[in-house]
Amino acid sequence: MRLFCCYLIEKLYLCGTKHIKAPFLIRMKKLLRTLLCAAFPLAAVSVQAQETVINVNAKKAGAAIQPTMYGIFFEDINFAADGGLYAELLKNRSFEFSPDHLMGWKAFGKVEIKNDGPFDKNPHYARLSSMGHRDLWTGLQNEGFFGIGLHKDAEYRFSLYARVPEGGQQMLRVQFVDQNTMAEHQEFAGVDVKVDSREWKKYTVTLKSPRTIEKANLRIFLCEPNGRSGRGTVDVEHVSLFPVDTYKGHENGMRKDVAQALEDLHPGVFRFPGGCIVEGTTLDLRYKWKNTVGPVENRPLNKNRWENTFTYRYFPDYFQSYGLGFFEYFQLAEEIGAEPLPVLSVGLSCQFQNDREDQHAACTKEGLQEFIDDCIDLIDFANGDPAKNKWAKLRADMGHPAPFNLKFLAIGNEQWEQPYFDRLAIIAPEVRKVHPEIKLIGTSGPNAEDDHFRNGWKAMRELKADLVDEHYYRDVKWFKNSMNRYDGYDRKGPKVFAGEWACHDRGKKYNHAGASIYEAAFMTNLERNADIVHMATYAPLFSHVEGWQWRPDLIWYDNLSTARTASYYVQQLYMLNRGTNVLPTTLSIDGGKPAANPVPEGEDGVFASSVLDKQKNEIIVKVINTTEKVQDINICLNGLKAKALPVSAEVTTLNCADYDAENMPGKPEVVTPRTTIAVMSGASLKAALPAKTFALYKLKLN
């Protein structure tokens, strides 16, 4: 009967309007389609075993999907900022790493560290002095972050602040060197810099690299114009090296390939700067945004909290230069088209790390004014009028007179219980008094279902948070059990921000493609609940192959290239195909009862959700087969006029059947999406979905 209906529908399509009057034709098509998709699936499925019928109610545009629905979460973990997204190539450029002010540098000859330099918040600099012999050399060599990655024919901007304290003129030879070469010369590019002032002055030169090299070094010799060792003294400070070609060409810019990977995702929201980094191991080490704006030379260095979290992957040289600071975050958000979402401290340092009295873990409730000011001043920095507000003026002075249009602010990262609730109860009303237009986000703690979580949600409801941040780094089993997580959520009160989440598997070791398929399936649950879920950001975002503390991560890189993981492609497919409205979608397996998700909890199966994109006039159906077997599916579009139906669909598939496959720098395309075309049969599209596959069907309406 089913085949007969399909045959009739096709015939009706083929015969066109020549011989039959249009209204009659349309009525017939509609009738047959209704019979096919609504009445016969039970019978059809019982004949054709193992078919999942996906009924899309194409007429009933449901909840609006927020533009912020899918986004990114940035934290400086895994060398995500310095040594990653931030394009600076030299480590410890300001000689502020402590206790070793020469960390990242090799000093030779006579080098002293002094601390009365031109930048009050970064007072250290290096003094290079003559060794008093033409063949005894003085200088410095920088190792970069796991080496300095350079590309053939690319240009690099070297700059430093320098002076000749005795007056007169001295020379520095600046070289790109390859220490591992067997060639006659280690130097493969070089330039002389004449330092000609007793006062501090900035010098800038450009070097072109004649070769691609992953681990170069930068060497500076104090020398004479004749190439012999220098006779005088030169002070050097804020020694910096950037590719000229940064993302959008900013001098204090982002690594182009890394930032491009973000732009290509098309995220709706960009959360920064963390994560635990917001809280700090101690309160004093927390992320203080005011230290990250203004001239880069005078942004005080801070330790990175991820230097010391996991002693089994310890990085004593992990600091935050804050060259990538709040101005740069806002600018980047704007350039990649995402809503900025800063997270600020609530006056509590990391509760995981602070269970001892003596650890300076919390600001007293009386002392919270500084934290209130941080919130209000940040909103002014982002949105204020430069003529009326000093923070807005700073933004304008930094090159962005127009506001950044900040709409959201999160207060507190992963905090829990009374210490958090009490502080938020003081800070939030003060912020609201001045800036009622900003949506405030609170947190439900580090877990997705424990007492902290439940108490957190209760408190956030009472405090009238606009959104509640939930975190879940969980294994496959948890995801299989959570495919209906948001179906039963209370629709009143705050909305959900799934602020950090990822599916971890097999000892949380790699970016297994096999785990990504559960992320895709779980996202059908986010999508069909878009009335309550307003934001979701996978975490963490970045990782350097040699500098990671936490995996899996969305994007990996070495010094020369990036790799987009299978999880990246899952996120990208959702972000590019967000749609504007949810379409009610039910599935029935083998003639079973139609439901939003009929797969029994904890089991593998076929998961699906659909959206309408009103602007593009298309329907997008996302279908995920998490099983080990091919699954027959039948997508039925219900409620559309015959003439509106598409004849074909664009199908993008991401196959994750090779469970352990992963994309890494050097091998970035092991798992990638493929696009083909599928032909529709009237209102129905049948397909055999391979095992462990995410398929996205784009149906352009006529």
Query: Please, are residues 248 and 161 in contact by the beta-carbon 8 Å criterion?
Result: no
**Minimum Å distance from CB 306 to ligand AHR?**
8
Single-letter amino acid, residue 28: M
Q: E strands within 477-532?
A: 495-504
Which residue from 413, 482, 511, 631 is in contact with ligand AHR, where contact means CB under 6 A? 413
Q: How far is the CB of 500 from ligand AHR (least distance, A)?
A: 5
The span of 7-15, 106-114, 194-202, 273-281 binding ligand AHR (CB under 6 A) equals 273-281
Q: Counting Cβ atoms within 10 Å, is residue 571 exposed (0-12), middle (13-18) or buried (19+)?
A: buried
Beta bridge partners of 309: none
243/499 with CB nearer ligand AHR: 499
Q: Closer to ligand AHR at the Cβ: 220 or 503?
A: 503
Q: Report the nearest approach of ligand AHR to the CB of residue 193 (Å).
A: 40
Nearer to ligand AHR, 75 or 96 (CB): 75
Site string for ligand AHR, 61-80 (x = CB under 6 A): --------------x-x---
Helices and strands of the chain, counted as H and E runs: 13, 34
Q: Which stretch binds ligand AHR (CB under 6 A): 249-257, 270-278, 632-640, 680-688?
A: 270-278
Footprint of ligand AHR on 468-487 (CB under 6 A)? 471
Nearer to ligand AHR, 149 or 347 (CB): 347
**Part of the chain binding ligand AHR (CB under 6 A), chosen from 274-282, 333-341, 397-405, 653-661:** 274-282
- 276 interacts with ligand AHR by CB under 6 A: yes
Contact call for residues 524 and 476 (beta carbons, < 8 A):
no
Q: State the minimum distance, in angstroms, from the CB of residue 230 to ligand AHR.
A: 46
CA 305, CA 250: separation in Å to the nearest integer? Answer: 28
User: Closer to ligand AHR at the Cβ: 71 or 446?
Assistant: 446
DSSP class of 494: P
**CB nearer to ligand AHR: pick between 75 and 143:** 75
Residue among 96, 237, 297, 414 flagged as catalytic: 414
DSSP E strand stretches across 448-549:
467-475, 495-504, 533-538, 542-544
Structure tokens at 693: 């596959």
Strands laid side by side in the 555-557 sheet: 542-544, 555-557, 562-564
- Please select the residue that binds ligand AHR; options are 230, 268, 275, 579, rule is CB under 6 A: 275
Distance CA 175, CA 222 (A): 12
Least separation, in Å, of the C-beta of 75 and ligand AHR? 5
Phi, psi of 454 (to 5 degrees): -65, -45
**How many residues touch ligand AHR (CB under 6 A)?**
13
Which of 328, 500, 505, 558 binds ligand AHR (CB under 6 A)? It is 500
Q: Annotate 159-197 with b (16+ C-beta within 10 A) or e (fewer).
A: bbbbbbeeeeebbbbbbbbbeeeeeeeeebbeeebebee
Name the residue whose CB lies closest to ligand AHR: 275
Helix (H, G, I), strand (E, B) or coil at 390: helix
Determine if 414 is a binding residue for ligand AHR (CB under 6 A). yes
Q: How far is the CB of 276 from ligand AHR (least distance, A)?
A: 4
Q: CB nearer to ligand AHR: give 54 or 276.
A: 276
SS (H, E, C) 292-343: HCCCHHHCCCEECHHHCCCHHHCCCCCEECCCCCHHHHHHHHHHHCCEEEEE
Please state, in angstroms and rounded to a whole number, the distance separating the CA atoms of residues 540 and 473.
10
Q: Which is nearer to ligand AHR, 320 or 652 (CB)?
A: 320
Question: Interacting stretch for ligand AHR, rule CB under 6 A, among 248-256, 269-277, 367-375, 554-562?
Answer: 269-277
- The whole-angstrom separation of Cα 472 and Cα 480 is 13
Give min distance, CB of 431 to ligand AHR, in A: 21
Minimum CB separation from ligand AHR for residue 473, in Å? Answer: 7
Question: Does residue number 88 form part of the binding site for ligand AHR (CB under 6 A)?
Answer: no
Tell me the closest approach of the beta carbon of residue 415 to ligand AHR, in angstroms.
10
Q: How far apart are CA 670 and CA 650, in angstroms?
A: 22
Stretch in the footprint of ligand AHR (CB under 6 A) among 93-101, 108-116, 268-276, 691-699: 268-276
3-state class percentages of the chain: helix first, strand second, coil last, to nearest 5: 25, 30, 45
CA distances from 368 to 10, 324, 417, 692 (A): 70, 26, 18, 50
- Answer for which of 539, 582, 612, 635 binds ligand AHR (CB under 6 A) is 539
Peptide bond into 225 cis (omega under 30): no
407 vs 508, beta carbon nearer ligand AHR: 508
One residue of 347, 446, 494, 514 binding ligand AHR per CB under 6 A: 446
Q: Are strands 585-589 and 606-613 parallel, antiparallel or unpaired?
A: unpaired
Report yes or no: 368 and 376 within 8 Å, Cβ to Cβ: no
The C-alpha atoms of residue 284 and residue 349 are separated, in whole angstroms, by 8
In the bound complex, what is the minimum distance in angstroms from residue 310's beta carbon to ligand AHR? 11
Which CB sits closer to ligand AHR, 86 or 550?
550
Residue 91 exposed, middle or buried by CB count within 10 Å (0-12, 13-18, 19+): buried
Q: Is 274 in the site for ligand AHR (CB under 6 A)?
A: yes
Q: Which is nearer to ligand AHR, 276 or 656 (CB)?
A: 276
Say whether 500 is catalytic: no
In the stretch 217-256, what mask flags binding to ligand AHR with x, by CB under 6 A? ----------------------------------------
**Cα first-last separation, the chain:** 28
We find the least distance from the C-beta atom of residue 472 to ligand AHR, in angstroms, to be 10
User: Which residues contact ligand AHR (rule: CB under 6 A)?
Assistant: 75, 77, 274-276, 413-414, 446, 471, 500, 539-540, 550
Active site residues: 414
